[in-house]
């Protein structure tokens, strides 16, 4: 595994960060999702460090990184700010951004708000914000599949997520979304990371701080006007890799995506939601091929 470096950011948090490769090479920053860490990318970091400067933080609230106490500390704008502050701390100007799950949500938002910094975008099983919110109103299957978000927002859940409760969460809140068995060193790593004081609450606070509306099945809430209004495009060349066996995020998330991402490549992979390590060879092959056909336009590492 890539060793971790502790980096204090201008946003007021310190993150554990895996860094590898030569600083003079093009930079790639990898953002993990729930309930993981930089280990999401263990099969990608070694591959792309061969010709890139690769950076993978444990995002705020996760593993050993800082865990601010308030729910508002996990609103999406905060980890977006962490991302830019991390790039600044490492003297990275422009970079390729890779995100999975919540890391992908942050990547979409960062690409929309910081096109001056993010040159290329790679998304793995993370829905576009407009398409996801629209699907929660319009697609009954996606609405049903997303009810776990409402459960995760219940703060009563936290008190049971210690000791044996972490084992139960592993089996019922995580492993059931995975298409392969997790055991041994990998399982132990999750339980160790989750056992960090305050980690489970902090990780779940990402759901609580999100403005995404998850209607209950059969509910007919008022439809937000912005769902049917013009939405700004993602201007960067974008690769979307999608594990087609994902039980939480359904194929509807790919429908109409090109309307909002003009320079789009989609690669579907036979895997579940955790595609970076469920199908690492296919993921690495897709990213490697796409990088070749979408070369960086400028020097991305200033240091």
What pLDDT, in 10s, does the model give residues 81-93? 999 999 999 999 9
Other CB atoms within a 10 A radius of the CB of residue 69 amount to: 10
Q: Encode pLDDT of 9-32 as tens digits.
A: 999 999 999 999 999 999 999 999
The answer to whether the peptide bond before residue 35 is cis (omega within 30 degrees of 0) is yes
Q: Output the pLDDT for position 241.
A: 98
Which two structure tokens, joined as six digits, stand for 118? 């993010």
Residue that has been written with the tokens 């701080």 in this structure: 209
pLDDT band at 180; cut points 50, 70, 90: confident
Rounded mean pLDDT, 296-303: 49
Q: Encode pLDDT of 223-278 as tens digits.
A: 999 999 999 999 999 999 999 999 999 999 999 999 999 999 999 999 999 999 99
How far is it, in rounded angstroms, from Cα 145 to Cα 152?
Answer: 13
Q: Output the pLDDT for position 9.
A: 98
Does pLDDT of 303 surpass 60? no
Q: Output the pLDDT for position 1.
A: 64
Q: Output the pLDDT for position 179.
A: 85
Q: Output the pLDDT for position 296.
A: 79
Rounded mean pLDDT, 112-130: 98
Does pLDDT of 300 surpass 60? no
């Amino acid at each position: 595994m890539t060793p971790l470096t502790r980096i204090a950011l201008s946003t007021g948090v310190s993150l554990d960060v895996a860094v590898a490769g030569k600083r003079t090479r093009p930079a790639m920053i990898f953002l993990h999702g729930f309930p993981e860490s930089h280990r999401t990318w263990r099969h990608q970091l070694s591959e792309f460090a061969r010709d890139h400067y690769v950076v993978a933080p444990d995002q705020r609230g996760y593993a050993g990184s800082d865990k601010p106490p308030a729910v508002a500390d996990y609103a999406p704008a905060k980890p977006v700010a962490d991302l830019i502050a991390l790039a600044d701390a490492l003297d990275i100007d422009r970079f390729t951004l890779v995100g999975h799950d919540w890391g992908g949500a942050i990547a979409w938002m960062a690409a929309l708000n910081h096109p001056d910094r993010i040159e290329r975008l790679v998304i793995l099983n993370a829905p576009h914000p407009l398409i996801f919110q629209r699907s929660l109103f319009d697609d009954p299957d996606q609405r049903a599949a997303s009810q776990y978000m409402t459960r995760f927002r219940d703060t009563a859940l936290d008190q049971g997520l210690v000791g044996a409760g972490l084992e139960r969460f592993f089996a019922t809140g995580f492993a059931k979304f995975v298409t392969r068995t997790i055991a041994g060193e990998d399982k132990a790593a999750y339980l160790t990371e989750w056992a960090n004081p305050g980690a489970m609450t902090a990780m779940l606070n990402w759901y609580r701080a999100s403005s995404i509306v998850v209607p209950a099945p059969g509910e007919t809430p008022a439809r937000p006007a912005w769902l049917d209004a013009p939405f700004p495009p993602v201007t960067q060349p974008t690769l979307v890799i999608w594990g087609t066996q994902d039980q939480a995020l359904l194929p509807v998330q790919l429908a109409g995506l090109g309307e909002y991402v003009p320079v789009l490549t989609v690669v579907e992979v036979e895997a579940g939601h955790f595609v970076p390590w469920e199908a690492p060879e296919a993921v690495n092959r897709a990213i490697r091929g796409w990088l070749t056909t979408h070369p960086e336009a400028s020097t991305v590492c200033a240091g």
